[in-house]
A and B are shown apart, each in its own frame.
Chain A
């Protein structure tokens, strides 16, 4: 009996949180279209995300491209198809690895920081202070973060795609002995705009997922240091799971 009761409690908690999350997202859209737009705050937040995330994004891109080139060589060399390596590197990066790895890295780098910052604001009554100062926290806290990530993720993905291709180029030319011009020609010829845009569309979706989940986890965190820690963990775990699962459906969409 106790077992069934526990399952019931967990299910109620899950559905109640799901309902709260859906309401939170609907409120976000409501205030997005009736905005009190804090331009300075939005720009500051966007710039901050952009500058602070570029180093990890660059590292993610270059090593992904390098590894991809090496691993492709291992497979393709077994049936003499090494010439397909530039095509595989650019296609995998633009359509798949670029957006997914960027999403996961930004979830860890920015999503965790959003959740921790907002949860701390809640614990220290700064959210209440915002309300007493007649400031809507959707406009002041949520909108800048969501918009910043929706705009910056495509920029990051473009960067990862470019740096990743360069990583593949370095390994292929300097380690595997490819002709440099041929490698670049193959890459450019094979890539079409649709491949790139499908990755960009994914990036926009992942930016929205990371930011809305992280803001929700922060705003509805429990009190105390434990609450802040849990909010941060939940933000990263839930965003990552949603990125990986939604990636399948988005891939189906562009298949």
Chain B
């Protein structure tokens, strides 16, 4: 699915978080949204997902303004797993709450895809590590075979080794399943590894954009400072 966003504006309590965002998410490509904390990245993807309304602008999904959000799924920053449900029930949530019971095979296959051992099938989220929670979140996001997957800071809170594993996993999943991916991240290494195109948001506008493989060659000073980690 191709998603085109034109002059998007969104405000909270009178303050514009997204001032003027125009970008295109290409079909079956991996788009990376970069930016400082609080610049509106999460608001942007939640607005695209239709979890938030917006104040101005247009969002077109394959040229249409309406979309069935069942075609989307999301991996949340900290997994957002349901504490009272087992891992298997979290992954197969939609089937589980509709009293369907024949999800075991599909869940185990997904757990295998995201590198989870089936020994945690009956465990609760509080009994597994942060890295595992992200994998469970990813398996849950993939359970409904989405056309577009939104990944909200998938490597945040993970050590470098686990971050790398998650990046490999995301790359494998989006390539194998041929789905459109939109990832929010601060992690430049992750952006270069998993992304095709990037957009850098600063103070509610798109400050820079381009090919992920050429991120380090950017000429935009603010983005350069963001990459090198200096204050601006």
Contacts and interface: CB of A to CB of B under 8 A. Distances in A.
B137 to A, nearest CB: 8
Contacts of B72: 132
B76 A128 contact: yes
A124 B97 contact: no
A132 B51 contact: yes
B9 to A, nearest CB: 21
Given A40-B99, A125-B77, A126-B82, A132 B69 contact: yes
- Size range of the interface on A? 10 to 19
Contact of A133 (B78, B83, B94, B99): B94
Helix, strand, loop or mixed for chain B's interface?
loop
Interface residues of B, number: 22
Contacts of B46: 128
A129 B74 contact: yes
B143 to A, nearest CB: 9
B31 interface: no
Contacts of B77: 125
B94 A128 contact: no
B128 interface: no
B73 interface: yes
A128 B51 CA distance: 7
A61 B17 CA distance: 54
Nearest to A41: B97
Contacts of A140: 97
A9 interface: no
B80 interface: yes
Interface of A: 38-41, 120-121, 124-126, 128-129, 131-135, 140
Given A129-B76, A129-B80, A134-B70, 11 more contacts: A39-B99, A40-B97, A125-B76, A125-B78, A126-B81, A129-B82, A132-B49, A132-B72, A132-B73, A134-B69, A135-B97
